[in-house]
């Protein structure tokens, strides 16, 4: 697919849906567990497997973004295109948040979708496309976790 899927396209494809009330508690609980576990794994794997550390770091961001969208906007994201859908939903709601709250504290959140998109691309390169997958730089991964993953989670957490 050459065209970029929009938020509206992803709703039509039912990748982005309203989170059913009967599912909400379990969905939220599951993502609260997942992001913490992924972050812990990312930090532990930095030395042993930087490639998988990067992948786990991305999933910590991805799962926290899904948790944020569920808690704040009753949005569920699942199925095909789940990674792109999470970025697009976050982009839509962060932009709305900025528009609704035009004060300085929220100006810096505009980078959050880009953080997640960057992490998604790095995870894909590391997980699927890298010819030198065993040579992922440990320092890059440590910086990725400290400067991308953790700030992303902390900023979204502060917005809940």
Q: Which residue has the higher pLDDT, 76 or 91?
A: 76
Rounded Cα gap, residues 109 and 152, in angstroms? 9
Q: Provide the pLDDT for residue 103.
A: 44
Give tens-digit pLDDT for 8-31: 999 999 999 999 999 999 999 999
Phi, psi for 77 (deg, rounded to 5): -125, 125
- CA 56-29-72 angle, to 5 degrees, is 90
pLDDT in tens, 45-71: 988 988 888 889 999 999 999 999 999
Ordered by where they begin, the domains of the chain are 7-159 (1.20.120.330)
E strand intervals along 8-66: 16-18
pLDDT of residue 111: 63
Contact (CB, 8 A) for 142 and 123: no
79, 85, 90, 92: CA torsion to nearest 10? -130
Query: Global pTM?
Result: 0.76
Cβ proximity of 11 and 89 under 8 Å: no
pLDDT of residue 82: 92
Is residue 39 scored above 60 in pLDDT?
A: yes
- Per-residue pLDDT band at 85 (split at 50, 70, 90): very high
pLDDT tens, residue by residue, 97-154: 655 554 444 455 556 777 777 777 777 777 665 555 556 677 878 888 888 888 888 8
Contacts of 97 (CB under 8 A, 6+ apart): 106, 109, 159
pLDDT of residue 105: 44
């Amino acid at each position: 697919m050459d065209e970029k899927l929009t938020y509206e396209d992803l709703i039509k494809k039912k990748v982005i849906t309203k989170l059913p009330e009967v599912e909400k508690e379990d969905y939220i609980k599951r993502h609260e567990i997942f992001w913490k576990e992924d972050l812990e794994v990312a930090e532990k794997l930095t030395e042993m497997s930087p490639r998988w550390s990067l992948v786990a770091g991305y999933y910590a961001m991805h799962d926290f973004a899904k948790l944020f969208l569920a808690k704040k906007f009753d949005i569920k994201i699942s199925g095909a295109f789940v990674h792109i859908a999470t970025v697009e939903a976050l982009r839509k709601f962060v932009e709305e948040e900025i528009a609704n709250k035009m004060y300085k504290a929220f100006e810096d959140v505009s980078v959050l979708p880009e953080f997640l998109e960057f992490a998604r691309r790095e995870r894909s390169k590391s997980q699927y496309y890298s010819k030198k997958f065993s040579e992922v730089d440990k320092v890059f991964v440590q910086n990725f976790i400290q400067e991308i993953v953790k700030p992303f989670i902390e900023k979204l957490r502060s917005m809940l």
